[in-house]
Structure 1
Amino acid sequence: MNLSNHFLIAMPTLNDSFFSGCVVYLCEHSNKGAMGFVINKASPVSMDIVFSSTGKATPQRFIGKDVMLGGPLHPDRGFVLHSPVQTWQNTMPITEEIALTTSRDILEGLANQDNESDAVLTMGYSSWEAGQLEKEIAQNTWLVANADSEIIFRLPTQERYAAAFAKLGIRPENLMGVMGHA
């Protein structure tokens, strides 16, 4: 089972201080473990702040957008999921359309007003040891869906969780597991 280029969707019953309500885009998954990025949990840092650090104006397509909290590991490191795949100093292609870059030179490229690349910046990442993710999926901690670049790059942050569920044809509230009394 290779879940690279898939979404992990936190079950509504997941009671975890970081992952509750999250959608994780998995970049790598093998018998050695898994690595991905939360794509729907905004950090306090905006893209405007990131681009101001380059000395360039924020491109229109990034104005008002947030940098995501990609995961609890190394929250001091930045990562960029982007499309199309272009080669920067440190780029790892994930699919033919999506890549991960960790080098700062991508910010200069994205700041170019003529560059129409889609991008999500994250601080930190999420990781699972060998067998850990499979165990969590078997325990119904996560649902798995095919990734969708429209959800990753174009939907507002607050709509990504419901949109990932919709790919499975279900709504999160239908899985709450709470019964009411009439």
Structure 2
Amino acid sequence: MTFATLKDKRERGFLDGQFLIAMPGMQDGNFDRSVVYICAHSAAGAMGFIINRSQAISFTEVLLHLKLVEQPEAIMMDGATRDFPILNGGPVETGRGFVLHSDDFSSESSIPVSDDISLTATLDILRAICEGRGPKRATMLLGYAGWGPGQLESEIGSNGWLNCPACEELIFDRTLEDKYERALASMGVRPEMLSRETGHA
């Protein structure tokens, strides 16, 4: 599934709003020890974002690159805005930015992905964040993870992923180092138990 098909999605799939937690035998290095928040799942495939992998570029650098601010404005931004988190969301369209955020912000391009979380991929949300009008909770991601029809189900069936209900606190938590372990702990699973798990909770 691609971001374009997400915009046309009408029904929620059974993995919508779930975490995928990579198993030790994950063959794809893009997802080693990753926690993925699934935004959309249907017969057309699935789309989500890795939420525990940092991105080298800073929010200030993004704003300057997009010409949303000039250097003097960037210097004067408050620390919370300068330190706004940017994550590596996945291996698809890595040059494209997305903002996952609480539903207290909405624009014409915002897409609800759960009862409490929305996705916006246009510059208006970045302007709002710069101006202090942004959502209460948010994180920016470059790129996303996408699966074709039946692909994710096959990977789960092959013991590539555990899945469990997503936790909003974990999605927006800026501490990344132990997010993998904390996602597992939310299921009552310790890393050393993973080889015995069967694929879902």
TM-score normalised by length of structure 2: 0.79
Q: CA–CA distance in 1 between the matches of 2:137 and 2:62?
A: 15
Question: Unpaired runs of 5+ in structure 2?
Answer: 1-12, 197-201
Between the aligned partners of 1:110 and 1:159, the Cα distance in structure 2 is: 27
The residue identity in structure 2 corresponding to 1:172 is: P
What do the CA deviations read for 1:120-166 (whole angstroms, capped 9, x no partner)?
Answer: 11111111111111110011100001011100102412222111101
Structure 2 match to 1:146:
165
Structure 1 regions of 5+ residues with no counterpart? Answer: 178-182
Task: Give 2:177's aligned residue.
Answer: 158
Q: Which among 18, 23, 30 is matched to residue 42 of structure 2?
A: 30
For the 8 Å contact 1:110–1:117, the answer to whether it is kept is no
**Aligned pairs (5 A) from 1:56-67:** 56-57=73-74, 58-64=77-83, 66-67=85-86
* Residue aligned with 2:57, SS: strand
Deviations 1:32-62 (A, max 9, x none): 1100011111121122323445325555435
Q: Cα–Cα, structure 1 residues 48 and 176, in superposed 2: closer, same or farther, change >3 Å?
A: farther
- Between the two proteins, the alignment pairs up a number of residues equal to 177
Determine if the alignment matches structure 1 residue 16 to structure 2 residue 28: yes
1:72 to 91, 108, 123: 91
Give the superposition deviation at 1:93.
0.5
Deviations 1:102-126 (A, max 9, x none): 1011001112336452111111111
| CA contact 1:45–1:66 (8 Å) conserved in 2 | no
Give the conservation status (yes or no) of the 8 Å contact 1:92–1:100: yes
Q: Which residue of 1 aligns with 2:5?
A: none
Q: CA RMSD in A?
A: 2.0
Of 101, 111, 128, the match for 2:120? 101
**Equivalent position amino acid for 1:99 in 2:** S
| CA positional deviation for 1:174 | 2.7
Find the residue that maps to 2:33 and give its secondary structure.
Answer: coil
In 2, the alpha carbon distance for the partners of 1:116 and 1:99 equals 10
Identity fraction in percent: 38
The answer to whether the Cα contact below 8 Å between 2:105 and 2:134 also exists between their aligned partners in 1 is no
For residue 50 of structure 2, what is the amino acid of its counterpart?
V
Mapped partners of 2:102, 2:168: distance in 1: 8
Q: Comparing both structures, which one devotes a greater share of its residues to strand? A: 1
Q: Cα offset for 1:85?
A: 4.4
Structure 2 residue 156 is matched with structure 1 residue 137: yes
